[in-house]
């Protein structure tokens, strides 16, 4: 095996060493070419006429072997050279023709768009930021496609990524405007967050943020001021619930993980209890979205339940608006031993990709029910549809949203912005399209319907009651009874939530008598 190589028209540094002397000179014929060879140290200086200079870097023996092996064989047959040239010429011609056709198709529109920009820039009443016009044009273009395609500008890029990564830099509180007083009220701190460690609790009021009156700024600005880089400090003027004078608290921001998998109620250490209160052996797991850590969190919750001899599971996907497809398919893989999970189809209904169960399914024998409602969408619909089509779970609640399209995230401007573009649709294992298109009627197949006998619709008033009760149970605070209902937060969820009660009935039908 040869241990050398040629360098063309580039002098090797070894040959510039004036202290080295020629040790051997000679002439060889290589194919039809006569070459002059000079050996120096471990470099061989080879000339092939006045223009081509080659340097062989290696041993003399290897060079001699190389020359011997290629003797009577030209560097490249002339025929091959002409073939390569022909291919290159044809490629250039084809590229230019394609580019010309592309320009012909869009050229007039590009010219008009540029003309409009120029007119606005020169004649509009006030000076307008060209970047603002550019982003508005892209957003308008995407809005013409469907509700889910979008242009994500640089200002909203961090927020978009945080929603998928399930983490952001902040202090870990949930806030809302009091509709009567307009005060910024803390609805709940997050467990073990910087705010919680500083004594902030639900019901406290934020008076100022870094010295600025919280009532005088928008919610978007409030979120921007509370969030920020890890390690930076934000100063809040807070009026604790029951106090008369506010206090100033300096809180250092940290990376705040946002859990996607929740239980029914927290224990004394603020950890989730994944059993349904008042129902021994019944697991209750809420999945709020499918982010990067959802499968990991779900596996931890199921392991917690398995250690405590869970008998059956209610998987609550209500109000889950979706997320990452891979996390949804991994969720199905925990419960399904074999078979199709989901497939995608592009233009003209051509199947583009399929996902099947891997065969692991550690919880394939666990009796389960899936709760859905009209706000269950996208990735959560994939999970519900898969488990329903394989008769792996009973579906309870209301018909789902019907959002069954795939959005690819395409980086723009070297990653400073993104294009979220619909490229395919989700299809259930039974071969039905999940997506509801604008002209689809209620009687047509879309979304996920509850199983026969397990549909349970809620009125607006019932839904408001259920959500209020859930918020009370989720709050991290020293709970105090409300005057209207002294033990509202302590009521068993199934006593307040008709859909959850229906899910209990369905699950009990699956359990051994």
- Domains within the chain, CATH numbers bracketed: 5-70 (no CATH), 85-143 (no CATH), 167-257 (2.30.42.10), 261-510 (3.90.226.10)
Q: What is the largest CA-CA distance in the chain?
A: 107
Q: Return the closest-CA partner of residue 292 out of 262, 321, 263, 323.
A: 323
pLDDT at residue 177 in the model = 87
Annotated catalytic residue 36:
no
Per-residue pLDDT of the chain (513 residues; tens, 9 = 90+): 434 443 444 444 433 333 333 334 444 444 444 444 444 434 444 444 444 444 444 445 544 554 444 444 444 565 555 556 666 666 665 655 555 555 556 778 888 888 998 999 999 999 989 899 989 999 999 999 998 999 999 988 888 887 777 677 899 888 888 877 889 999 888 878 899 889 888 889 999 999 999 999 888 889 889 988 889 999 999 999 889 999 999 999 998 888 999 999 988 888 899 999 999 999 999 999 999 999 999 999 999 999 999 999 999 999 999 989 999 999 999 999 999 999 999 998 899 999 999 999 999 999 999 999 999 999 999 999 999 999 999 999 999 999 999 888 899 999 999 999 999 999 999 999 999 998 999 999 999 999 999 999 999 899 889 988 988 888 775 544 444 444 555 677 878 999 999 999 999 999 987
The span from the CA of 466 to the CA of 314, in Å, is 17
Q: Using the 8-state DSSP alphabet, how is residue 271 labeled?
A: P
The 3 state secondary structure assigned to 335-378 is HCCCCEEEEEECHHHCEEEEEECCCCCCCCCCCEEEEECCCCCC
Count Cα neighbours of 137 within 13 Å in the Cβ-side half-sphere: 14
pLDDT at residue 109 in the model = 85
DSSP 209-227: ETTEEGGGS-HHHHHHHH-
pLDDT at residue 90 in the model = 62
The span from the CA of 108 to the CA of 443, in Å, is 44
pLDDT at residue 30 in the model = 41
pLDDT at residue 29 in the model = 42
Count Cα neighbours of 339 within 13 Å in the Cβ-side half-sphere: 20
pLDDT at residue 494 in the model = 79
CA distances from 491 to 68, 162, 179, 283, 430 (A): 92, 34, 26, 18, 40
The span from the CA of 371 to the CA of 221, in Å, is 36
Annotated catalytic residue 158:
no
The span from the CA of 333 to the CA of 342, in Å, is 11
Residue 454 in contact with residue 394, Cβ under 8 Å? yes
Annotated catalytic residue 378:
yes
Q: Return the closest-CA partner of residue 279 out of 294, 263, 295, 293.
A: 263
3-class SS at 459? coil
Q: Return the closest-CA partner of residue 383 out of 337, 335, 348, 419.
A: 335
Write b or e for each residue in 15-33: b if 16 or more Cβ atoms lie within 10 A of its Cβ, otherwise e.
eeeeeeeeeeeeeeebeee
Catalytically annotated residue among 264, 389, 433, 474: 389
The span from the CA of 277 to the CA of 159, in Å, is 35
Catalytically annotated residue among 153, 316, 403, 497: 403
The span from the CA of 174 to the CA of 168, in Å, is 13
Residues whose CB falls within 8 Å of the CB of residue 452, separated by 6 or more in sequence, listed in order: none
Catalytically annotated residue among 149, 188, 193, 378: 378
pLDDT at residue 110 in the model = 84
Residues for the chain: how many in total?
513
Residue 174 in contact with residue 188, Cβ under 8 Å? yes
């Amino acid at each position: 095996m040869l241990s050398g190589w040629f360098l063309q028209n580039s002098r090797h540094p070894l040959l510039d060493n004036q202290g080295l002397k020629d040790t051997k000179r000679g002439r060889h014929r290589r194919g039809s070419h006569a070459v002059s060879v000079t050996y120096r140290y471990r470099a061989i200086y080879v000339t092939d006429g006045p223009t081509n200079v080659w340097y062989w870097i290696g041993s003399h023996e290897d060079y001699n072997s190389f020359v011997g092996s290629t003797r009577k064989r030209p560097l490249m047959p002339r025929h091959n050279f002409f073939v390569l040239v022909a291919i290159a010429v044809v490629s250039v011609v084809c590229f230019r023709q394609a580019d010309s056709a592309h320009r012909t198709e869009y050229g007039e529109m590009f010219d008009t768009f540029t003309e409009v920009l120029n007119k606005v820039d020169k004649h509009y009443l006030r000076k307008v930021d060209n970047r603002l016009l550019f982003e508005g044009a892209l957003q308008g273009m995407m809005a013409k496609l469907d509700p889910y395609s979008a242009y994500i500008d640089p200002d909203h890029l961090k927020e978009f990524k945080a929603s998928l990564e399930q983490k952001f830099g902040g202090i870990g509180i949930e806030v809302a405007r009091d509709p009567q007083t307009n005060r910024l009220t803390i609805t709940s701190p997050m467990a073990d967050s910087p705010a919680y460690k500083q004594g902030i609790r639900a019901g406290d009021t934020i008076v100022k943020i870094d010295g600025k009156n919280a009532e005088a700024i928008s919610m978007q600005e409030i979120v921007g001021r509370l969030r920020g880089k890890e390690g930076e400090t934000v100063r809040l003027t807070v009026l604790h619930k029951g106090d008369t004078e506010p206090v100033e608290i300096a809180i250092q921001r940290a990376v705040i993980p946002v859990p996607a998998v929740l239980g029914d109620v927290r224990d004394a250490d603020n950890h989730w209890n994944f059993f349904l209160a008042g129902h021994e052996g019944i697991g209750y797991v809420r999945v709020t979205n499918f982010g990067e850590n959802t499968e990991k969190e779900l596996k931890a919750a199921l392991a917690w339940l398995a250690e405590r001899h869970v008998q059956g599971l209610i998987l609550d996907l209500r109000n889950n608006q979706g997320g990452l497809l891979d996390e949804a398919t991994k969720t199905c893989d925990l419960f399904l031993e074999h078979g199709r999970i989901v497939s995608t189809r592009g233009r003209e209904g051509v199947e583009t990709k399929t996902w099947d169960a891997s065969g692991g399914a550690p919880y394939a024998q666990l009796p389960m029910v899936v709760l859905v409602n009209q706000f269950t969408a996208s990735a959560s619909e994939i999970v519900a549809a898969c488990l329903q089509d394989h008769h792996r779970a009973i579906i309870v609640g209301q018909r789902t949203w019907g959002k069954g399209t795939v959005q690819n995230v395409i980086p723009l401007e070297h990653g400073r912005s993104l294009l979220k573009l619909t490229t395919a649709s989700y299809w259930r294992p039974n071969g039905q399209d999940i997506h509801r298109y604008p002209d689809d009627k209620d009687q047509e197949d879309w979304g996920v319907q509850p199983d026969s006998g397990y549909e349970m619709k809620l009125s607006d008033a019932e839904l408001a009651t259920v959500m209020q009760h859930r918020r009370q149970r989720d709050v991290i605070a020293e709970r105090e009874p409300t005057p209207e209902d002294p033990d509202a937060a302590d009521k068993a969820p199934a006593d307040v939530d008709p859909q959850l009660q229906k899910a209990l009935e369905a699950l009990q039908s699956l359990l051994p008598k």
